[in-house]
Structure formats: structure tokens, C-alpha cells
A and B are shown apart, each in its own frame.
Chain A
Amino acid sequence: MQQKNIFIRIDDRFIHGQVTAAWTKKVGATSIWVVNDKIAGNPALKQLQIMLAPPGVSVAVLKIEEAVEKIKNLKNNEKVLMLFENPVDVLAFLEKSGVKVDSVQLGQMGYRAGRVKIEKTFDIGPEDHKALLKLLDMGVKLYYQQLPDFPPKPVDMEQKIRSLRLG
């Protein structure tokens, strides 16, 4: 099933003040799901995420398995901004739930040892690269865009990701 009422963004800061507020507005989201096993399993991190939510939007902090269950009951009049830490988690969610999406937005993944910069605020490691290739093969479009108005147009990442050689 093609799921039109979810918007998937990869941003390892998850709910992040004005960045998330900007995307919530742009997407017209009625709720935000933070999908991450580590945060969902840690009450302190969970509390911080809920505290940082933009006003008027409901927030759920879910493990991947929980998101797979919750998506089954999503109503048509709801619109969810889903935030993931990395493409590996996105792939796991899409595979386990069977949900199909047109595109996944690449927002931010900070630099770490072993990662390679593919866009200004997006660095990936070998596992991330594999997951991104898999997403492309599933027909998912990958766009890089950090903020709604900057850069003004999302960057199609397919060619760059396909030609990248990692580990």
C-alpha cells in the first residue's frame, strides 16, 4: 500500500526546536513520531523529545517495532512526520511494515569516524550506504534538504549514492 499521509525524514537530532517546527508546518503534520529504539527505551531522552515538540502537535516516541504496529491504525485524516536517526532504521521500518512511500528526506546525519560526507549536513557510513541503495532499488526517491527554504530545492541524491564506493 502506498502511504500518502506519512513523511519520512532522517535527522539524527530528531525533534530539534525550530528545524522540526519548520518541517511540521511545511508538511502539515498533525503528529510527529520519533522512531528510535534507543530513545524510546530511555525515559530521560524521551522526556526531552516531548519537551522540544512544537506547540499543537502530538508526539509519539516509538521503537521500530512499535511504529510498525501503530502505522496499521493510522487514519486517513492524520499526517505524520516520522523522524529516524539513519537509513538503516528507515529500511527496517519499511520492510517490517510493508509500507510504501514515494520518497525519504535526508536531513541531517552528523560526522562520525568512518563516515563520509555526501552533503553539507549529511555523512554516511557503509551500513547507511547499503540501506540507501536498497531504498533506491525499492523505488524510493531520496532527497537531501535540511530546511524547507534552504537550499530552495531538494537535491535528488540517486546518482551520487549509486556512484559512491564505500568500505
Chain B
Amino acid sequence: MKLVLASHGGLGCEMIRAVAMILGVSVLEKAKCVELLEGESLENYYEKLSKSVDGETIVLCDLFGGTPSRAALMLLQEGKVKAVLTGFNMAMVIDLLSNGASSAEDAAKSARDAGLQGIRAFIGPSLSEVTESPGESFYRKNKEQI
């Protein structure tokens, strides 16, 4: 499984370096990054990204709706990548590089779960935690159905 992090600026490249601090430098070979430069067109970025992927690649994007995700979703429609995940965070990338899932679908599901679980909000000195959010209740409802 090949991972490509697609992001605005150097976010994806730095994310890989950050994850390497946890999982070791082998990560640097398993995951690549493709930067969107300021003012770069979708067409140009699409070309750049398409050169870094193959049919087995999972693309991780920083922001759903942004240019990197749009290029990635276009490649997915064309069958040129295996899966696309958006809104990457460290927990998600770590999971993808270490969950050992056999299929892209399992890997994507597991990574999404890990990414969601990694997002928590604490308020005040008592560390009270915000537990309800539209995302979470949606996530729980879907889990109950499975």
C-alpha cells in the first residue's frame, strides 16, 4: 500500500516527518507528499499528483473541498487511485501506516475511525470534555447500524 499526502503547502510533508518521530524513519519511504503551491491551478496540481500515484495508492488530503482533495477525488473517479481520505490528522496517518489492513477499504475505514477518535475537545481546568457533536453522533449512529 502506497500513501500520498496531498496538502496546501508543506503540511503533508511535515506530517510525514512528524509521524516518523513516532513510527521511525521507515515512514519516509512509505509515504510521499505532494504540495499545492500558492496560486497553483487545479489542472497543474492534478498533473503533479497523478504522477505520484498508482492504482494502489491511498491519498490523504488536508481539507475536504480544497484543491488537493478535488484533484484526488478526480483521480479516484478515474480509477487511478485506490481510496481518498480527507481531513488528515496525525492519528489517522499513524493508523494507516500501522494498522496492517489487507484491503484498501478496511485500511480507509480503520484510518477514518482512528482520525475521528483522535479529535477531542476539553474545556476549563476541570478538563470537562465536549462529547456531543454532529460528527460524533453521526459516527455513533453509523457504528450502531453495523
Residues of A near any B CB (own CB < 8 A): 12-13, 16-18, 20-21, 44-45, 47-48, 51-52, 110-112, 120-121
A-B pair number, CB within 8 angstroms: 42
Q: Is B41 within 8 A of A44, CB to CB?
A: no
Q: Is B70 within 8 A of A48, CB to CB?
A: yes
User: Could you tell me the distance between the alpha carbons of A44 and B67 in the complex, rounded to whole angstroms?
Assistant: 16
Q: A48-B73, A48-B74, A48-B77 are in contact. Are A111 and B39 (CB under 8 A)?
A: yes
- Complex: chain B residue closest to A45, CB-CB: B74
Query: Which of the residues A18, A45, A47, A121 comes within 8 Å of B65, measured between beta carbons?
Result: A18
A-B contacts, 26 of them at CB < 8 A, read A12-B41, A13-B42, A13-B70, A16-B65, A16-B66, A16-B67, A16-B70, A17-B65, A17-B66, A18-B65, A18-B66, A20-B65, A44-B77, A47-B77, A48-B70, A48-B73, A48-B77, A51-B73, A52-B70, A110-B39, A110-B40, A110-B42, A111-B39, A111-B41, A120-B39, A121-B39
B97 within 8 A of A: no
Residues of B near any A CB (own CB < 8 A): 39-44, 63-67, 69-70, 73-74, 77-78
A48-B74, A51-B73, A111-B39 known, 8 other contacts, Cβ within 8 Å? A12-B41, A13-B42, A16-B66, A17-B69, A18-B63, A45-B74, A110-B42, A110-B44
Residues of A within 8 A of B78 (CB): 44
> Shortest beta-carbon distance, B123 to chain A, in Å?
25
- Complex: chain B residue closest to A48, CB-CB: B73
Residues of B within 8 A of A111 (CB): 39, 41
User: Could you tell me the distance between the alpha carbons of A121 and B67 in the complex, rounded to whole angstroms?
Assistant: 14
List the 8 closest pairs (A to B, CB-CB), nearest first. Answer: A17-B65, A110-B41, A44-B77, A52-B65, A17-B66, A121-B39, A48-B73, A13-B42
Q: A48-B73, A48-B74, A110-B42 are in contact. Are A13 and B67 (CB under 8 A)?
A: yes
Residues of B within 8 A of A17 (CB): 63-66, 69
User: Could you tell me the distance between the alpha carbons of A12 and B45 in the complex, rounded to whole angstroms?
Assistant: 14
> Shortest beta-carbon distance, A18 to chain B, in Å?
6
